[in-house]
C-alpha cells in the first residue's frame, strides 16, 4: 500500500522512487526530499517581492512643478529638477527657484522628447528626465542624489559632498535608503528610487 504526504505544494509518495509536484512534473525522490527547503525559499522570495511591490505602490505620485512658488514641495525638489535638466544639457543655476529660465529649460526638453510643451513638470516629464546613476557615474544627476541625501540629514544637513561623483559613500547611502524603502538594495538609482527621492519619502 502506498501512502502520501503533502509538503507545501509537493506530494511525496512513500515507498515509490519518485515524487510528483502539484504541477504534474515527476522528480527523483532524492530531489523531492529537498523540496521543503526549496518551497520555503520560493515563499520567502515571493514575500520579499510582495513587500517591494507594496512599497512602490505606497509612493506618492511624481511632483507637479510649474513656474512659481511650488509651496507644496521643498526647494530640494525643484533643485533635483534643475540638476536633472542640467544633466540633459541645460545650463541652469541650481537654486531651488522655478523661474522663467527653469520653465524655458523644461519646455525645451519637452519639445525635444515630443511631450506637451507646457512647462509643467508632471509624471511623463519626470519619467523622461531621470537618469539612471550608479557607482562610477558622474555629473549633475549624481549631484541631485547627493543633494537629496543631505536634505534627509536632519542633524546637520550634510551626509555627502555634492560633488557629482558617485563613489562608495554615495552608493552606501543609496543602498541604505533603498533598504529603508524595502526596495532592491542594489545601489542603483533608477526610476523607483528617483520617485522616492523627489517625492521626499523618508525626509522626516
Please tell me the predicted confidence (pLDDT) of residue 56.
57
Which pLDDT belongs to residue 27?
37
- pLDDT for res 12: 31
Q: What is the pLDDT of residue 203?
A: 87
The pLDDT of residue 204: 73
pLDDT at 168 over 80: yes
- Give residue 31's pLDDT band: very low, low, confident or very high (50, 70, 90): very low
Q: CA of 44: how far to CAs of 2, 105, 182, in Å?
A: 32, 46, 14
Mean pLDDT for the chain? Answer: 82
CATH code, 75-198: 1.10.101.10
Position 163 confidence tier, pLDDT thresholds 50, 70, 90: very high
Judge whether residue 4 has pLDDT over 50.
no
37 pLDDT exceeds 90?
A: no
Q: Check residue 177 and give its pLDDT.
A: 97
Q: Which whole number is the average pLDDT over 74-78? A: 97
- Segment 66-82 mean pLDDT: 97
Residues 157, 19: Cα–Cα separation, whole Å: 60
| Residue 203: burial class (beta carbons within 10 Å; 0-12, 13-18, 19+) | middle
End-to-end CA distance of the chain: 65
pLDDT band at 29, cuts 50/70/90?
A: low
DSSP-derived secondary structure letter, 165 = B
Sequence-distant contacts of 105-111: CB under 8 A, at least 24 apart: 106/81, 109/85
- Beta bridge partner(s), residue 68: 98
pLDDT at 33: 54
Residue 161 C-alpha cell reads as 559632498
37-58: average pLDDT: 53
Give the 3-state secondary structure of residue 11: strand
Please write the tens of the pLDDT for every residue from 89-104.
999 999 999 999 999 9
Say if residue 183's pLDDT is above 70: yes
Q: How far apart are CA 92 and CA 90, in angstroms?
A: 6
| Domain extents in the chain | 4-57, 75-198
Q: How far apart are CA 83 and CA 141, in angstroms?
A: 6
**How many angstroms separate the CA atoms of 196 and 130, rounded?**
12
Band the pLDDT of 176: cuts 50, 70, 90.
Answer: very high
- Within 10 angstroms of residue 149's Cβ, the number of other Cβ atoms is 20
Strands 18-21 and 10-13: antiparallel
The pLDDT of residue 104 is: 98
Amino acid at each position: 500500500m502506498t501512502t502520501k504526504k503533502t509538503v507545501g505544494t509537493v506530494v511525496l509518495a512513500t515507498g515509490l522512487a519518485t515524487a510528483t509536484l502539484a504541477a504534474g512534473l515527476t522528480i527523483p525522490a532524492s530531489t523531492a526530499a529537498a523540496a521543503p527547503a526549496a518551497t520555503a525559499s520560493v515563499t520567502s522570495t515571493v514575500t520579499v517581492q510582495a513587500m517591494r511591490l507594496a512599497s512602490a505602490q505606497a509612493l506618492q505620485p511624481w511632483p507637479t512643478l510649474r513656474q512659481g512658488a511650488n509651496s507644496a514641495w521643498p526647494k530640494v525638489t525643484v533643485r533635483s529638477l534643475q540638476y536633472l535638466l542640467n544633466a540633459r544639457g541645460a545650463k541652469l543655476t541650481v537654486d531651488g527657484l522655478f523661474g522663467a529660465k527653469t520653465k524655458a529649460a523644461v519646455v525645451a526638453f519637452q519639445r525635444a522628447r515630443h511631450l506637451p510643451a507646457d512647462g509643467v513638470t508632471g509624471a511623463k516629464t519626470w519619467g523622461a528626465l531621470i537618469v539612471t546613476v550608479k557607482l562610477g557615474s558622474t555629473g549633475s544627476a549624481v549631484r541631485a542624489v547627493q543633494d537629496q541625501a543631505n536634505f534627509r540629514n536632519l542633524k546637520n544637513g550634510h551626509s555627502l559632498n555634492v560633488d557629482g561623483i558617485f563613489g562608495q559613500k554615495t552608493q552606501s547611502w543609496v543602498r541604505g535608503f533603498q533598504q529603508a524603502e524595502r526596495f532592491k538594495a542594489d545601489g542603483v538609482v533608477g526610476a523607483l528610487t528617483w520617485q522616492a527621492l523627489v517625492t521626499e519619502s523618508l525626509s522626516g
